[in-house]
Structure formats: C-alpha cells, structure tokens
C-alpha cells in the first residue's frame, strides 16, 4: 500500500517570524503590497467537497481571513459572493479568479457596509446571483490603534461601531428571511474580546459585542435549524494590521508575544470557517473558536 502519510509541520517555523519591516499603507490596505505577502491558501488549501452546492456571502472577502475563507469555500464546492471596498478592487479581482479557477461561481460586490441601505442591497444582490444564501460570514472589520481615549474622535468611534456591530446586524437581519434550515452564520470576533489591548479601546469593545452576537443569536435561531458560531483570531498577518490597525513600531515585532512567536497567516484559519459551515458540524452552535497562536481565552 502506498504511504500517504503527510509529514509533520512545526507550527513555529511554518511561516515568517518577526522582525518584519515597517510598511504603512492607507486604510483599508492591499494584501499584494505587503511584505511578506500573506498566505490565504492560494497554493496550499486542497478541498474535498465538504461544501458542495452551498452558497456563501462573505464580507471583507478580498483579503485576510475573509479571502482565505472564500478560497477554501470554493475549493470545497461552494459558490461565493465577496463584499469589499472599491479601493480593494485589485485584491477582489484576484479572489474571484481563484474562485473561478476552482470551478465555482464567484461574484464581487463593492460597497460600504456602514450604510444600512447598502447592507440590504448587498444581501439582495448576493441572493439573486447565487440563487440563495446558506452561509453568511460577517467578517469585515475596522481596527485603528489609538493610544488614548482622548484622541478617539466621535467620527472614528462611530465608523468602528458601524463597521463591526451595525453592519453584521443589518446584513444578518436582511439575510435571515432567506436562510433555510441547515444554514450557518459565522462571525469573526477577536482575541481582543478577551484580552483587550490598551490602544484598541473601541475595536476591543466591538469584538466583545461580536461574541455576544453569536451566543444570543444562536439561542434565537437554534429552533429554526440555523447555526451561529464565531472565530476569535489572535494576531494575523493581514492588511488590517499594517494600514492603521497597529502602530508601525508594533508591526516590526507583530506576533512575537504569542507562544508560537509569530503572527498567524489567514490560510491557517480557513479550515475553521469550513468546519463551522459544514453540515457535519450540526451540533455546533453558539461557540467561538480561538486561533491565537497560544493566547486568548475561547
């Protein structure tokens, strides 16, 4: 019999470790301009039909964790709509090409999810293009590091709250009448919900709200056969970090404080999003899965 055993991989040395170079970008940032370029699973993720025939809407699907989920979903047999900001067009184009290369339908819908009307339109457009929705991933987020609460403007605070709390509410509310029994809702929270940093005061509060979103909504929707779960990443190498999510001095040593001594790569979280969407996880709801390199609480 042929030996198909995969070699063991040391998680410490699998991906780049700090120090990294400073690399400021204007928000929201472009993944292809990062150094090193993040791994979203473009070459590494291999599917096995776990999501065959499924229809997914992913916010923030152009880069980072959303992009990794989009690639994985397509390679598992799902058709995918991603949402992104117009400034991220080049990243979005790459994702759609990868989805189509996997033999699935991919659609990119640009727009600002801080608008309630756009959130409603996004769901309507996604459902029309996919012929329905049965996986909803509320992933898009806004993170800007500010040292003091005195320096957080009302406008900045409002933008963070609208992106991270209002948008998932608006999108989920619009999608719910379309979701059949067996559908899955997945929310991207953060280690910041459990171990908030002093310079992410507003962001950390929204990520804690995302945990409550998961646990409360899972109780509402359980009787309807709709599962709601979340993922709480730690430091992950994405454009969110280098475009204001962290001070540039922190980028140099980003991820160093974790037991694995490095940041995670988006590809390392893709399988969690697949697991939570897969119908084989039918008894998993109201849970928050941690992926923080050895830190965090979920």
Question: pLDDT tens digits, residue range 279-292?
Answer: 999 999 999 999 99
Q: For strand 227-233 and strand 135-138, is the pairing parallel, antiparallel, or unpaired?
A: unpaired
- For residue 75, pLDDT beyond 70: yes
Share of the chain above pLDDT 70, in %: 99
pLDDT at 116 (0 to 100): 98
Q: In terms of Cα–Cα distance, which of 208, 156, 178, 205 is closest to 57?
A: 178
* Residue 57's pLDDT band (cuts 50, 70, 90): very high
Tell me the whole-structure pTM to 2 decimals.
0.96
DSSP secondary structure letters along 6-56 = PPP--TTTSS--S--------TT--GGGSSSPP--STTT----STTTT-EE
Q: What is the mean pLDDT of residues 192-209?
A: 97
Judged by phi (left if over 0) then psi (alpha if -120 to 50, else beta), residue 154 lies in alpha
Contact by Cβ (8 Å): 53, 277: no
Question: pLDDT tens digits, residue range 84-135?
Answer: 999 999 999 999 999 999 999 999 999 999 999 999 999 999 999 999 999 9
CA distance readout (Å), 30 to 7, 191, 237: 33, 23, 12
- For residue 1, pLDDT beyond 80: no
Q: What is the mean pLDDT of residues 4-22?
A: 94
* Residue 276's pLDDT band (cuts 50, 70, 90): very high
* Residue 5's pLDDT band (cuts 50, 70, 90): confident
> Cis link prior to 28 (omega < 30° from 0)?
yes
Question: pLDDT tens digits, residue range 131-153?
Answer: 999 999 999 999 999 999 999 99
> Cis link prior to 19 (omega < 30° from 0)?
yes
- For residue 243, pLDDT beyond 80: yes
CA distance readout (Å), 70 to 199, 200, 254: 30, 27, 25
Catalytic, 203? Answer yes
- For residue 178, pLDDT beyond 60: yes
Query: What is the Cα 51 distance to its own chain's centre?
Result: 18
Query: Residue 66 contacts by C-beta under 8 Å, 6 or more apart in sequence?
Result: 58, 59, 60, 82, 137, 139, 140, 188
Q: For strand 184-188 and strand 135-138, is the pairing parallel, antiparallel, or unpaired?
A: parallel
pLDDT at 258 (0 to 100): 96
* Domains of the chain as residue ranges with CATH: 49-291 (3.40.50.720)
Q: For strand 288-291 and strand 106-110, is the pairing parallel, antiparallel, or unpaired?
A: unpaired
Query: Residue 243 contacts by C-beta under 8 Å, 6 or more apart in sequence?
Result: 24, 25, 26, 27, 28, 29
Catalytic residue of the set 45, 84, 203, 289 = 203
Question: What CA–CA distance (Å, rounded) separates 240 from 203?
Answer: 12
Complete edge-to-edge strand list for the sheet that includes strand 79-84: 106-110, 79-84, 55-59, 135-138, 184-188, 227-233, 288-291
Question: What CA–CA distance (Å, rounded) separates 138 from 172?
Answer: 8
Question: How many of the other CB atoms lie within 10 Å of CB of 188?
Answer: 26
């Amino acid at each position: 019999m042929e030996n198909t055993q995969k070699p063991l991989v040391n998680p410490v040395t699998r991906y780049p470790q700090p120090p990294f170079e400073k690399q400021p970008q204007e928000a929201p940032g472009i993944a292809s301009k990062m150094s090193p370029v993040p791994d979203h699973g473009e070459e590494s993720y291999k599917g096995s039909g776990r999501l065959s025939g499924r229809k997914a809407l992913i916010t923030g699907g152009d880069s980072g964790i959303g992009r990794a989920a989009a690639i994985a979903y397509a390679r598992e047999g799902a058709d995918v709509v991603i949402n992104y900001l117009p400034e991220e067009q080049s990243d979005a184009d790459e994702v759609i090409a990868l989805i189509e290369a996997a033999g699935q339908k991919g659609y990119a819908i640009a727009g600002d999810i801080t608008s309630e009307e756009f959130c409603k339109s996004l769901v309507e457009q996604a459902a029309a293009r996919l012929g329905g929705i049965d996986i909803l991933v509320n992933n898009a987020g806004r993170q800007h590091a500010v040292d003091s609460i005195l320096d957080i403007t009302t406008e900045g605070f409002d933008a963070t709250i609208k992106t991270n709390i209002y948008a998932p509410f608006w999108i989920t509310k619009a999608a719910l009448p379309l979701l059949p029994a067996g559908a899955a809702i997945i929310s991207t929270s953060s280690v910041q919900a459990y171990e908030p940093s002093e310079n992410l005061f507003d962001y950390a509060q929204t990520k804690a709200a995302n945990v409550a979103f998961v646990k409360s909504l899972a109780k509402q929707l359980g009787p309807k056969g709709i599962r709601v779960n979340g993922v709480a990443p730690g430091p992950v190498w994405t454009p969110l970090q280098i475009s204001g999510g962290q001070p540039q001095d922190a980028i140099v040593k980003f991820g160093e404080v974790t037991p694995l001594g490095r940041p995670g790569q988006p590809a390392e979280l893709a399988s969690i999003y697949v697991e939570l969407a897969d119908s084989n996880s039918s008894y998993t709801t109201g849970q928050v899965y941690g992926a923080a390199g050895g830190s965090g609480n979920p």
